[in-house]
Amino acid sequence: MTTPEFSIKPLDPVGAEVNGLGGLESFDAATAQALNQAWFEHGILLFRGIVSAEAHIALSRCFGEIEVHPLPELRAPENPFFFPLGGERVSALVFDETDVLVNRIPWHRDTAYTPTMCMGAILRMIEVPDAQGETLLGDTAAAYDALPEDMKRRLDSLEFHATISNGAVEHTGLGAWWSTVREPRDDEFPEGVTPFRTGAYPDKSRFPPVIMPAVLTHTDSGRKCLFISPMNVDYFLGMDRAESDALLAELVAHMTSARFVYKHRWSPNDALIWDNRRFIHAAFGNRPGETRRGLRTTLATKFKVARYADGSGTAPIDRALTM
């Protein structure tokens, strides 16, 4: 197989678009190596024209081993390597007492409530709404680089307590850009939208709390990253709650400032890969009745990034992340 030619166009302010590989359903070793080098450099790669599940899987395998999502109920019935987003699996929530939206998710890292958090993900959007529905990605390596030296020293040995969160339904804290969220009343549900019920979310006892470091070194790039997932942080160890909350608020505001954030407006058959070790992300949400449907694959990591808070599973954390 001949290595296809492709070009890289930087995105603003971070990431890159890959042109010339749309329509392929297989990728040779030389292409995979070149794509990995581009990924380590840019952290986000955007592909256009990834039109099939086969192409999505093949592209994912360029970057490593694919794993199934830790929540079995979220796996696609037709292929457990896919995690469906949107489509019929949506409901409505009311934000700040005015906006009825679906698919809104606060800032987070994927599987940031497990000891071996995933390396990255590739999301391919199949149907997109006429408006909204954007994905936002924040570069925590650039955010770390921009911190004052005294803050870097403070964070380098700091750890935090983290737990699974049921997304926007219970999250009005740091990492959310809304003040309140609630289920709509029966008369507020838009036509065709399934009534939301909190009981549909997973039992949190399946995922015990973990202790994670605030900073990890990405050895593929050599850069330090703020390893904070705002949706999952409960508190920093060794601080009272007021001090911890103040530090978290400062860091989240810094990480999510516009100079570090790429905002993607989706077109059908876009595929976006992000480095979960380096980036946090969020979903803006869209109006009920407008379809936003995608599939996500998850890239595995075999390196331990946390320990259980109860003292079990006390193997040391790998503070240097690798593939």
pLDDT in tens, 234-249: 999 999 999 999 999 9
Burial label, 205 (beta-carbon count in 10 A; 0-12, 13-18, 19+): exposed
Residue 314, in any domain of the structure: yes
Are the CB atoms for 296 and 274 separated by under 8 Å? no
163 and 306 Cβ atoms separated by less than 8 Å: no
In a domain, 1, yes or no: no
Per-residue pLDDT, 323? 36
- Whether 140 and 320 have beta carbons less than 8 Å apart is answered as no
Count of CB atoms situated within 10 Å of the CB of 93: 22
Dist CA 268 CA 266 (whole Å): 7
CB 233 within 8 A of CB 160: yes
221 falls within a domain? yes
What per-residue confidence (pLDDT) applies to 33?
A: 94
3-state secondary structure of 48: coil
Residues with Cβ within 8 Å of 25's Cβ and at least 6 positions away in sequence, in order, are 52, 54, 55, 58
Domains contained in the chain, number: 1
Give the pLDDT score at 134.
Answer: 97
46: in domain: yes
Does 224 fall in a domain? yes
Work out whether strand 223-226 and strand 83-86 pair parallel, antiparallel, or are unpaired.
unpaired
On whether the CB atoms of residues 281 and 138 are closer than 8 A, the answer is yes
What residues contact 82, with CB distance under 8 A and at least 6 apart?
Answer: 53, 56, 75, 76, 295, 296, 297
Look up residue 165 and give its amino acid: S
CA angle 92, 93, 99 (to 5 degrees): 105
Domain assignment present for residue 2? The answer is no
pLDDT score at 194: 67
What is the spatial distance between Cα 47 and Cα 123, in angstroms, rounded to a whole number? 10
Kindly state whether residue 222 falls inside one of the protein's structural domains.
yes
For residue 141, is it within any domain? Answer: yes
Q: What does the block give as tokens for 299? A: 């890239």
Is the bond into 208 cis (omega within 30 degrees of 0)?
no
Residue showing tokens 């900073």 = 215
Average pLDDT of the chain to the nearest whole number? 88
Give the distance between the most distant pair of CA atoms in the chain.
60
Give the side-chain half-sphere CA count within 13 A for 20. Answer: 10
Asked if 319 contacts 144 with a C-beta cutoff of 8 angstroms, the reply is no
CA 145, CA 322: separation in Å to the nearest integer?
20
Contacts for 292 with CB less than 8 Å, ≥ 6 apart: 85, 86, 87, 90, 102, 103, 125, 127, 128, 129, 133, 266, 286
Residues 306, 316: Cα–Cα separation, whole Å? 8
Q: Write out residues in the chain with pLDDT < 70, as ranges.
A: 1-4, 88-90, 192, 194-203, 313-323
Q: What is the CATH number of the domain that holds 206?
A: 3.60.130.10
The range of the structural domain enclosing residue 93 comes to: 7-321
